[in-house]
Each structure stands twice: as C-alpha cells, then as structure tokens.
C-alpha cells in the first residue's frame, strides 16, 4: 500500500505548502503549531490557525507519479507531454488520477509517461497556462 501524501494551497496568502510544510516539524520562536489536518467524512481538511479564524486550504493528493525531472506529480499540476498542455485531475468515473488535455481528451497516467511528462506549473500559481480549472 502506498503512502498518501498531500500538499495544500492557501488561497488567502497565495502560498503552496509542501507535505513537509504541513507537518511543521520545527517551529521557530517557540510558537505553537498552527496548521492542523484531519479526515472528516472522507474529505481531507487542512486549516491554518494563524489568526483567530481558521483558514481552509485546498488539499492536493500526490499521484505517486514522477516527471522526467524526477519531480513528484500532484493533483492540480499542469504538465506538458510533447507540445500538449495537460492538467492532472481526479476522476470519479475511474476512481483514479487522469491526465486531461485542454481539448478534453483524457488519458491514464502512470509511470509509463515518466520519460515524456514534465511539470510546468499548477492550477493555482500558473492558471494562465491552462484555460480551464476542474
């Protein structure tokens, strides 16, 4: 069984947290932990309690795939295969991740694409690379 890993987007601060950033292994200046995550009714909830009101993050799961530069691919990543731009999305229909092109064509992802696929951004920090958001 593979390890489930998540990164998270803080829309308010416009900041992406890596899995390591969500764990907060060491906190400077002896402040208390501010980021909490929990599973509730099958939904991963990640909150930051920097202020009195919690900030909800957008979680993105690791696909457990890697691109040609050995970078881990996450849900929401924008990738390039040849001359075509794609987005990594979760498909309820197949209960798995797929690679969706801008023209709506979906293909199964996986390690067989490793030598061809390259991460060029994500839908939150680089939405200009793609003209839709799933």
Residue 110 lies in a domain: yes
> Do 47 and 93 lie in a common domain?
no
Residue range 4-43, pLDDT digits in tens? 788 888 888 888 888 876 665 455 555 555 676 666 656 6
Residue range 39-88, pLDDT digits in tens? 665 666 677 666 666 677 788 999 999 999 999 999 999 999 998 999 99
Residue 119 lies in a domain: yes
Q: Are the C-beta atoms of 130 and 87 separated by less than 8 Å?
A: yes
- Residue 95 pLDDT > 80, yes or no? yes
> Do 79 and 125 lie in a common domain?
yes
Domain that holds residue 101: 63-129
- Over residues 115-126, the mean pLDDT reads 94
Q: Are the C-beta atoms of 68 and 117 separated by less than 8 Å?
A: yes
Q: Are the C-beta atoms of 22 and 46 separated by less than 8 Å?
A: yes
Burial category of 15 from C-beta neighbours within 10 Å (exposed 0-12, middle 13-18, buried 19 and up):
middle
> Do 11 and 41 lie in a common domain?
yes
- Over residues 102-117, the mean pLDDT reads 87
CATH number at residue 78: 2.30.30.290
> Do 42 and 78 lie in a common domain?
no
Residue 1 lies in a domain: no
Rounded to 5 degrees, what angle do the CA atoms 8, 120, 6 make? 20
> Do 29 and 84 lie in a common domain?
no
**Ordered alpha helix ranges (H), the chain:** 19-23
The number of domains in the chain is: 2
Q: Are the C-beta atoms of 87 and 60 separated by less than 8 Å?
A: no
> Do 68 and 113 lie in a common domain?
yes
Q: Are the C-beta atoms of 86 and 80 separated by less than 8 Å?
A: yes
Model confidence pTM above 0.85: no
pLDDT at 39: 64
Model confidence at 108, in pLDDT bands (50, 70, 90)?
A: confident
């Amino acid at each position: 069984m593979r390890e489930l890993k998540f990164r998270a987007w803080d829309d308010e601060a416009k900041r992406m947290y890596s899995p390591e950033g969500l764990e907060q292994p060491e906190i400077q200046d002896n402040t208390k932990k501010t980021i909490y995550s929990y599973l509730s009714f099958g939904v991963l909830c990640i909150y930051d309690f920097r202020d009195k009101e919690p900030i909800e993050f957008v979680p993105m799961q690791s696909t457990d795939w890697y691109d040609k530069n050995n970078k881990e691919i996450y849900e929401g990543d924008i990738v390039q295969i040849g001359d075509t731009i794609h987005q990594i999305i979760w498909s309820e229909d197949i209960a798995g991740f797929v690679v969706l092109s801008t023209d709506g064509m979906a293909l199964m992802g996986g390690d067989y694409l490793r030598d061809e696929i390259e991460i060029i951004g994500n839908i939150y920090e680089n939405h200009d690379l793609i003209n839709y958001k799933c």
